[in-house]
Structure formats: structure tokens, C-alpha cells
Structure 1
């Protein structure tokens, strides 16, 4: 994480011709070398699984191996999304222990870590619910755990600045209730009105093949931290969508997705923008239907508007020299990989990018991209 005087790195298997077990072992071997020079505190495993039972078995096996390699004091997210260039990719986050004190305040599926530097505290973690096939019930369990985590850590819920929401079968239905819409309803209920004063978190809502509901979060509590929403002038805020674009006509309740297009964060001399999961939407409607390359172009333009001169000039701090830091690119269809990758490379060059196969929150959206911008 940039504001923790660290960053992230992507670990890919050195032997892409092996099976999943071989590729996973290759990543873990590299992890051991990386951790000797950097203090890793969080690992995201992007890997496809064929069933929820296989998901649980693989997750437990990875946890056991990591205990031997790096010890138990590390956050782990196991995300059932298939990388497009191999069978598994590991996203490793690290920090600088000379600037930050670090402690795990809970471990396991609902792991939480607390970073502190003087009067500044950063809370990061994961809540995971996979006890039920019903999305609403898993979402309720996950948000109950989230609220409880923040109460125990004595953090206000509205201190969340960045959130990732991974949903099994995001576009599916439980009877007549569309699963992503049910998640949004539960999120709206859990949030209540606590975010009304200073806006919602930047967030990504994306599908995964198995695993129920998994939520990751970053929260900041400090008088030295300034954070505020960043809007794209060409898009309607997701939390202000009309019912025209909310899916599931038969749903009994339809609340809007509670997130901002992006969120600015300043801590001392560090300034950055978290860019939410972004898609080919102008106003509130999908653009480039059926054309993944066109949707990628529009998506990148939407992202660039979030750190345009017009937007930066409206920030309370002087912010210049924006530098796009990394990207995750989610694709609905494997066949679109080459075309989407070509567009991304034309714009961002050799920027670190991972390409993930995942369902996206609208039937007609083929691509979603998230990232960060460093302001120097």
C-alpha cells in the first residue's frame, strides 16, 4: 500500500505449463524470496476452482503452507477468479515497518490488521461468508461480521475508504431475487446513513465462480488523513442511479450500489486516488454493447477523467503529476483477452496489469478495470 510506505507486487508462476498445484507451488517459492526483503502483510490468491468444496480444500491447504513460510500473522484472501495468463496469480501487499507498527487483531477467514503511526491508524481486513447458497444470507452474515469488526477495533464504519466486494454468481438469481441486487440491498441496510456526510467508499463489485461473499476493506482513522469522494463529470454516481438500470424487475426491493467512482486520500505528504471498479458507462447507461475493445476504450477514458486537470483542481490540496499505478482488468469472456490487452497496453504501456476472468455486474458489460493514481 502506497500510504503505508510500501506497495504491491504480482507473483506469477515461473512454470505456466504445470497444473494448478505446480503453479501454486511456484508462486509460494517466489513468495519466500520476496518476503526476505519486504514485509508482506496481505496476500490475494486469484485462482479458479470447480466447486465450493474444492475452494475450501484449496484455501485450507494454502493457509497451512503459508503458516510454514511466513507465519500466521498475515491477511489472506482467496478469490475464485481465473487469471487469463496462467492458473494462479498472487497479489502481495507490503509495508515499511520503520514507519508503521503492525498487529493482527483477528485471524482466519475474517482476518484484520491494524497499522499505527502516532495518532494515525489504518485498519485493513477481510470478512467472508460461504455458509449458504443464498447470496442475501451470505451478504447479511458478511456485513454483520464487518460491523462487528469495526466496533471491536473502535473504528467508525464511515472510515472505510476502499472496499472490494466479491460475489459468487453475481448475475444469478435466488428464486426471483437477483443476487447483486440483493447484495446492494443488504449493503444499503448495513450502511444506513453513516456515509451521508462525506460520501461512500471507493469500491469494486465483481463476480467470482465460488466462495459465497467476500469483502475486503481499507479504513483510516486520523486527523492527519483527508479523504473525500471524486466524481466523473460524465457519469451519474452509482448511488444515484435510477431504477431504469437496476436489474431484477421482479425484485421486491431495489436500492442503489453504495460506492463512489473514486476516492481521494491524503496522509501527510502522500496523496493518491483510489479508482473504483470502472466500466463502459456514460451517464448511467452502458456504451459499446457487444464490443469489448470499445468498452475498454470508454472505461479507460472514464478512469482518466477521475484524475483530469478539472478534477484535480477541485481537490483541497495542490495535486499534480498524476501517475497511474497499477490495474486489475476483469473480463467476462476469455475470447476478448487479446483485444482488451492490446487497448490497455496502447494506453498504459508496461504498467503492471493482471487480467482476470470474472462476471461483471451487468449482463451487457464485458470489461471492468480498477486501479490507483499517485499524486506527486
Structure 2
């Protein structure tokens, strides 16, 4: 990761016509050949899973292979989102071991890495619940596990600066309650008033095919860090949405999605903006219904507003040059891939990017994009 003097790499299998196991082995082999002086500490595997049994078997198999290959603790996350160009893509996170001391934090099946340097602590990890005992219960379990992880290293809740929320069947229903809305209700209860003074984390809430609920997070505790929310004036902040865009019965409590459109982080002279999952929304209305190219265009315009000249002036007295660092592009329907990819490349060229199939938090949204902007 950038602020760990590291990197983020996307690894594709060498042979895209092999079966899933062969492609996993190909990716792991390539990871073993990285010789940059940086060290891998986290791996996200994006892959399809046709059933819960297949998901659980694949997760156990990959965990065992990762444990055999790496001598130090590596956090592993299996995200049931099919890549659009092969059967599996691996996202590898690296840090500079000459700059940072590390400590593994293990709480049951959940894990994180604590990075320490001078008077700065950074906690990066993921927690998961897939108990099939009701969606609200899984949401409560994941936030409870996140709370335990933070408490273990004495991090306050408001130390979270970036969060990814992977939600199985995100726009489906558990009885008469929409799953994404149930997740948002539990998130609001967990956050309570912890973020009132400094704004919410940047975040992505995205669908998966399996796995229940996974929360991936970055938390920072440091007297050196400067962090602040970044808004897009063309969009209503998600946490200020009106009742008309929230799903559920009129008489039932519905809370808004608690995240910022983006979040600025400055640490040890490294400056960056976390770009939240962004879609084709103006105000709080979806734009470009049934038009994937237009939705991609509007989404990119929304992202570019988050690192506009006016935004950069408000963040620093120095003249900052923005460079988009990487992206994940979530595509709802495979048939829209060509139009979405063409539009994305028109703006960002050969930027490191992964395209994956994932359901999005509104039925009429066809694409969602996230990433980071490095400021130099």
C-alpha cells in the first residue's frame, strides 16, 4: 500500500484456459517470484463460487496453500465476485519491511496486521460472518468482530479511514427486509456518534455471490496523520440521503449508508485520497438508466470531482499533482463489459484495473468504480 511504502498488484493467471485450481496455482507461483524488496501481507482472491460448499472448500484450500507458501502471516480474503477476463484474479498488498514493524492480530477466523512506526499505528484486516442465521445477525457478528479487533490494539472506532463491505445478495431480501438496508441499520448502530467530529470512512458497499458479510478495513492511529472527508458538490452525501431512496416499509427504521464520497489521508509526507465506491448518481438520483456507457461516464465525472483543483486547494497549501493510482470496476451485467471498459480506458488508459462482476446497491445501477488518488 502507498502509505506503507509498498504497492498493490493485480495478478492474472498465466494460462486463462485452465481450471480454477490451475489458475490459483499460477497466481501463487507468480507471487513467489516477486523480488522488489517489498513484502506481501494481504491477498484478495476474486473468484466465482457456484455454491456455499464450493466457496468454503475453495477458501480452505487457498488458505492452506498461502500458509505453506509464506513464512510470515498473510491475511487472506476470498471474495465471490467473478473476474471478467479469467477465472481468478489476485490482488496483492505489499509493504516495506525496512520501514515498518508488524504484528499479527488473530481473533478466531478473523485476522489483521498491525503496522508500527514511530508514533503511528495502522491496522489492516478483514472480518467475516457467514452463519446463515439471518442477515441482520451476520451484520451484527461482523461489526462485533470488528469491534473486538479494534479493542485488541486499543484503536477507537473513528480510527477507521477506509472500509470495504462485501455483501452476499446485496439487494435481495431477508423476509420483508432488504439486506443492504439491514446492513446499513447495523452499521449506523455500531458507528453511533463516533464519527460526528471527523466524518465517516471512505467505503464501498458491493454485492457478492457467496460468503455472507465481509468487512475489510484500514484504521489509522497517529499524531502524524491528517485525514478529512472529501465531498462531491454534485452528489448528496450518502449519509444525508432522503427516505425516498432508502428501501423498506414507511413505519420501519431506515438509516442512511454511513460513508464519505472520499477521504484524504496525509501521513509521513505521503498524501492520497481514498475514492469510495462511486456510481452514476447526481444529487441522489440514478442517471443513465439502462445505458452502461453513460453511467460509466457520469461515474468517472463524479470521481474526478473528488480530486478537482478546488478540492486540492482546500487540502493543502502546496500545489498537488493528482495521479489516479488503481481502480476496481464492478460490472453488474457481463453484456455491458465492452461498453464500460471502453469508456473507462478513454479516461484512464492503461491504469492498473480489475474488472469484476458484482451486484450494486441499487437495481438500476450498472457500474461502480473505486480507487485511490496519489498526490505529489
TM-score normalized with structure 2 length: 0.98
Deviation at 1:67, TM superposition (A): 1.0
Q: Could you tell me which residue of structure 2 aligns to residue 13 of structure 1?
A: 13
Counterpart of 2:15 in 1: which secondary structure?
coil
Deviation at 1:35, TM superposition (A): 5.9
State the alpha-carbon separation in 1 of the partners of residues 368 and 232 from structure 2.
Answer: 16
Q: Could you tell me which residue of structure 2 aligns to residue 341 of structure 1?
A: 341
Counterpart of 2:275 in 1: which secondary structure?
strand
Counterpart of 2:301 in 1: which secondary structure?
helix
Deviation at 1:148, TM superposition (A): 1.3
Summarize the alignment of residues 25-104 of structure 1 with structure 2, pairs less than 5 Å apart: 25-34=25-34, 37-71=37-71, 73-104=73-104
Contact 2:105 2:149 in 1 (8 A): no
Q: Could you tell me which residue of structure 2 aligns to residue 244 of structure 1?
A: 244
Q: Does 1:229 align with 2:229?
A: yes
Q: Which moved more, 1:160-169 or 1:62-71?
A: 62-71
Q: Could you tell me which residue of structure 2 aligns to residue 208 of structure 1?
A: 208
Summarize the alignment of residues 139-178 of structure 1 with structure 2, pairs less than 5 Å apart: 139-178=139-178
Residue ranges of structure 1 left out of the alignment (5+ in a row): none
Deviation at 1:73, TM superposition (A): 0.5
Q: Could you tell me which residue of structure 2 aligns to residue 327 of structure 1?
A: 327
Residue ranges of structure 2 left out of the alignment (5+ in a row): none
State the alpha-carbon separation in 2 of the partners of residues 132 and 35 from structure 1.
Answer: 41
State the alpha-carbon separation in 2 of the partners of residues 286 and 185 from structure 1.
Answer: 22
Summarize the alignment of residues 163-312 of structure 1 with structure 2, pairs less than 5 Å apart: 163-249=163-249, 252-312=252-312
Alpha carbons of structure 1 residues 156 and 338: separation in structure 2 relative to 1, 3 Å = same
State the alpha-carbon separation in 2 of the partners of residues 181 and 71 from structure 1.
Answer: 41
State the alpha-carbon separation in 1 of the partners of residues 305 and 206 from structure 2.
Answer: 22
Counterpart of 1:13 in 2: which secondary structure?
coil
Deviation at 1:36, TM superposition (A): 7.2
Deviation at 1:38, TM superposition (A): 2.8
State the alpha-carbon separation in 2 of the partners of residues 179 and 3 from structure 1.
Answer: 34
State the alpha-carbon separation in 1 of the partners of residues 277 and 109 from structure 2.
Answer: 24
Residues 221-263 of structure 1, C-alpha deviations (whole Å, 9 max, x = no match): 0110000000001000000000111123467221000000000
Runs of 4+ in 1 over 3 A off after TM superposition: none
State the alpha-carbon separation in 2 of the partners of residues 135 and 353 from structure 1.
Answer: 31
Contact 1:75 1:107 in 2 (8 A): no
State the alpha-carbon separation in 2 of the partners of residues 329 and 201 from structure 1.
Answer: 20
Counterpart of 1:148 in 2: which secondary structure?
helix
Q: Does 1:124 align with 2:124?
A: yes
Residues 154-195 of structure 1, C-alpha deviations (whole Å, 9 max, x = no match): 000100000000000001000100000000000000110000
Pairs aligned (count) = 376
State the alpha-carbon separation in 2 of the partners of residues 108 and 85 from structure 1.
Answer: 34
Q: Which moved more, 1:28-37 or 1:119-128?
A: 28-37
Residues 83-117 of structure 1, C-alpha deviations (whole Å, 9 max, x = no match): 00000000000000111111112166311110011
State the alpha-carbon separation in 1 of the partners of residues 353 and 237 from structure 2.
Answer: 26
State the alpha-carbon separation in 1 of the partners of residues 59 and 5 from structure 2.
Answer: 29
Contact 1:47 1:80 in 2 (8 A): yes
Counterpart of 1:82 in 2: which secondary structure?
coil
State the alpha-carbon separation in 1 of the partners of residues 251 and 125 from structure 2.
Answer: 31
